[in-house]
Structure 1
């Protein structure tokens, strides 16, 4: 491996990219299953949204604890375990018949399993393997979430329409089994495992073992970060980020299109198109975050996203071309906010603490997403339309843009060291 012309860290990034891609595709499956579940089980949209909301929340809550687990037990072992748990959960799903079973399988188990394979995994891998090009790598791994929708949603939607939702679930299980084998064979935890230095340095350093308490250390990190203004601004903007992306659009765009007579496969194609453009937009965002002030990048990202969401109700009620314009414009900005947010968090709290603290920032993101997933479904039941949630999300994004430029230009003072009790 030492003599290979290709730095092995790029192999690790590729495996992580595919893993995050698959995890994101499966995490977004309930948006495809919402209408079939309404028809087969008679569950209303608000109840299904509540399950999705629980899954999104637990997905985010795993962030800071997954950072500790990844450091203690290793990246490869935790990835294999999470993929296996997710595969088991999906395998049981076609046998369910009650809403509480859906809550356990998709709200709890799937939420926790996919939470281990979220943005914190990308941050941990980047911090282990790269000194240079961190922004670019974070951008690539973040973009994989949108690419998961690009590859999986239209395919799974087509399978659901032609062969039923159970077949689409079993198809996802097959992909997970293949991925478990790939991760088990080729994934590595640290450059030291293959006898190379982190990218951008020539110093071969044995990684420090995680010595803290798996549950207490993330909580101490939160207590330490909570005294820092930058933490609250990053967490606040990320709350609105989650509110306006996977919680709202990722969960409700397909059923919203259904309200206007747009078929599921076509609506899933719109999400896939967003994923295609986000692959470009978020990777570009990582490149930009290595070169420009991340505060102003966030200002423009949130501001432009807010304008696109204010445009969405008009696009849905207008023509397919207007909806296509929304998909392109919004897709470029889908999760482009992640690389500059990671950059600011790492600068402020340091490489050692950034994984856990960014994990808590992701919790805020998923609380926002959970709020939107449930709230939008409830408002749709009460009002018969998604217009109010879409407009509200547009305005909160404009507010998030103003919050971003309140982050201090001198961010980087850091927090007090975490002390174990």
Structure 2
């Protein structure tokens, strides 16, 4: 067998896998960004209030998070390619059927359950799993780029979707999103490979002395539940999950879902609000990639402290920025964009340090579940605040305060506790693999 794992010289197929993964995450990010554009059109056409629409978005976000750990286990047992193709099929079907809905429960079922479950199968754990299998070097950098794909999805899709909605309505916009999800399945089906060993390769940058990961065999549901059980006994797990809860509450749930409606409340056109989110996506592409590079070199706890601190300050000032959009919102877009999901590479690194590389994807899946529970709580809570109070100011200030508190407690991750061993889940056996 050719065991090449060169980090220089010959082109390594790991970069093809990384590119395909980026494409999948890009497409699903576009799907998940769509509710921010659709809230006001649905409100106008059907008379549904924002609390009702936000409830469907919350269901979507909860399922996106809760399915992640099981998706990670299925990727280990059944393969990444099959899991991703099933995800894209669910997403395309759910979004394609949304133009037919006429009642709130249709929105709950299609956008909440079907789309939420489908996108959850290609959650952030996909990037972590691919990086652990295919890369022995530059893991932080590659994970940073893959994570940034969610921001790039906003950059690509939001202005386009807002323009389509403004010109021809929300139904054609939904069909565009469904078509993109279906189209991405084609290169995945043709080109994706599970492990470097399938091509006679070692992971990028690996040598024969590099410690190999393991292939899980057994019940993936048991593996996921056992990982959660062990995580709940770990202080580091609670700190990581708690910080990611706040991360989700302050990004996907609050800004990703409600910034465009908040802009409309201040007389800022929908397309301009979408362009603001897209600009954040552009800045985050740079910020999260840089965060991946930094996570290989600096203390990841300190990085998280800075990220949450800056995010908290930006949120506290957001109501003032909305009132002076000419100069305030571009500043907010810059600060928040650079910081949007820069938290992911350090969190993945700390998870791997705490629980071991073999178990990191499933453990990170549960941490992502906490992220999405936070996102769901903020999406629903901010919608309720807007419905009851008439504006989003209290929602922004509360989220900002949570970020500032989180900036302090992330410094305790990995402190005053012995390193975690790498336990093997109950009836899940492990066997050696070059991948």
Under TM normalisation by the shorter chain, which class is it?
over 0.9
Aligned partner (choices 326, 330, 333) of residue 327 of structure 1 = 333
Aligned to 1:370: 376
Q: Which runs of structure 2 are paired with 1:300-379 in the superposition (5 Å)?
A: 300-379=306-385
Cα distance in structure 1, aligned partners of 2:198 and 2:258: 43
Per the TM alignment, residue 177 of structure 1 is displaced from its structure 2 partner at its CA by 2.1
Paired residues in the alignment total: 421
SS in 1 for 2:324: coil
Aligned to 2:45: 40
Aligned to 2:74: 69
TM superposition outliers: structure 1 runs of 4+ over 6 Å: 1-4, 204-207
Task: Structure 2: give runs of 5+ residues left out of the alignment.
Answer: 428-435
Q: Is it true that 1:399 corresponds to 2:433 in the alignment?
A: no
Aligned to 2:268: 262
Distance 1:328 1:343, change over 3 A: same
Q: Which runs of structure 2 are paired with 1:146-161 in the superposition (5 Å)?
A: 146-161=151-166
Cα distance in structure 1, aligned partners of 2:351 and 2:107: 36
Cα distance in structure 2, aligned partners of 1:103 and 1:172: 18
Per the TM alignment, residue 85 of structure 1 is displaced from its structure 2 partner at its CA by 1.2
Distance 1:296 1:209, change over 3 A: closer
Per the TM alignment, residue 76 of structure 1 is displaced from its structure 2 partner at its CA by 1.0
Cα distance in structure 2, aligned partners of 1:160 and 1:180: 25
Aligned to 2:233: 227
Cα distance in structure 2, aligned partners of 1:412 and 1:141: 31
Aligned to 2:15: 10
Aligned to 1:284: 290
CA contact (8 A) 1:306 1:396 kept: yes
Per the TM alignment, residue 199 of structure 1 is displaced from its structure 2 partner at its CA by 1.1
CA contact (8 A) 2:222 2:425 kept: no
Give deviations 1:373-411, integer Å, cap 9, x for gaps.
000000000110000000111110000000111123477
Distance 1:354 1:97, change over 3 A: same
Distance 1:417 1:206, change over 3 A: closer
Cα distance in structure 1, aligned partners of 2:183 and 2:334: 32
Per the TM alignment, residue 202 of structure 1 is displaced from its structure 2 partner at its CA by 3.0
Please, what is the CA RMSD of the aligned residues? Answer: 1.7
Question: TM-score scaled by structure 1?
Answer: 0.97
Cα distance in structure 2, aligned partners of 1:408 and 1:93: 45
Aligned to 2:90: 85
SS in 2 for 1:210: strand
Q: Is it true that 1:389 corresponds to 2:409 in the alignment?
A: no
Distance 1:314 1:180, change over 3 A: same
Cα distance in structure 2, aligned partners of 1:206 and 1:349: 16
Question: TM-score scaled by structure 2?
Answer: 0.94
Per the TM alignment, residue 208 of structure 1 is displaced from its structure 2 partner at its CA by 4.4
Cα distance in structure 2, aligned partners of 1:123 and 1:62: 15
Per the TM alignment, residue 418 of structure 1 is displaced from its structure 2 partner at its CA by 3.7
Aligned to 1:175: 180
Aligned to 1:144: 149
